[in-house]
Amino acid sequence: MIAFIRGIIDEITEESVVIDTGSMGYNIRISGKTAGELPGIGEEAKLYTYTSVREDAIWLYGFLTRDELAVYKQLITVGGIGPKGGLAILSVMSADDLRFAVLSGDAKAIAKAPGVGIKTAGRVILDLKDKISMRDTAIGREEAAYAEGMEQDGNSARSEAVEALTALGYSPADALKAIRKAEIPEDADAELILKLALKNMF
């Protein structure tokens, strides 16, 4: 199995890229989103790859991050979502956008992908909702690390304030930003941190 390919971009379209590794050129299928984020022809690129083996062909699918590749592998386990369907979904949303859509049950967001209807989007949510958690997202990982740091200092007040803000309807990302912007005394409790953070929400 090819884990990743690094080389010079020889050709690029909205659906694929050819990477020259020096002795060989690899034709790799990519999402429209990835195509827009890659550097230009003649520049170096690295793609993490998934190999699809069929009776009539072998295809490589490329992703800029391991995280996106991991989500893609989850996507193609869903009935009705093949390798191309997985790319279509990741052309209109990031890995975290997909996770948030699954966690919130937002089938309409997933159905924006070409060739993916509401029923198929609903199947994605049904099949992945038990495999994805908030901790899998970048914000979730940041929040967990932040909370862990607070607990190591013997003070979980800030993490409690984050939970309170999210309960009020703010996103974890906005909650973290507001708390970090606030001038918070070292001995502040969760209630005071919440009040100070809310001032940064307006």
Q: Read off the pLDDT of residues 109-163 as tens digits, 9 standing for 90 and up.
A: 999 999 999 999 999 999 999 998 766 776 666 666 655 555 544 456 777 887 8
pLDDT of residue 19 exceeding 70: yes
pLDDT above 70 covers a percentage of the chain that reads: 87
Mean pLDDT for 65-69 is 95
pLDDT computed for residue 177 by the predictor:
75
For residues 151 and 173, which has the higher predicted lDDT (pLDDT)? 173
Q: Which CATH architecture has domain 4-63?
A: Beta Barrel (2.40)
pLDDT computed for residue 104 by the predictor:
83
Beta strands per DSSP E along the chain:
4-12, 16-20, 25-29, 44-53, 58-63
pLDDT computed for residue 170 by the predictor:
82
Whole-number CA gyration radius for the chain: 21
Mean pLDDT for 44-57 is 93
* Domain at 74-132, CATH from 2.40.70.10, 3.40.50.1000, 3.30.1280.10, 1.10.150.20: 1.10.150.20
For residues 103 and 15, which has the higher predicted lDDT (pLDDT)? 15
Helices 157-167 and 190-199: crossing angle, nearest 10°?
50
Distance of CA 157 to the CA centre of its chain: 28
Check: pTM over 0.85? Answer yes or no.
Answer: no
Could you check whether 4-63 and 74-132 share the same CATH topology?
no
Buried b (16+ CB within 10 A) or exposed e, 146-183: bbeebeeeebebbbbbbbbbbeeebebbbbbebbeebe
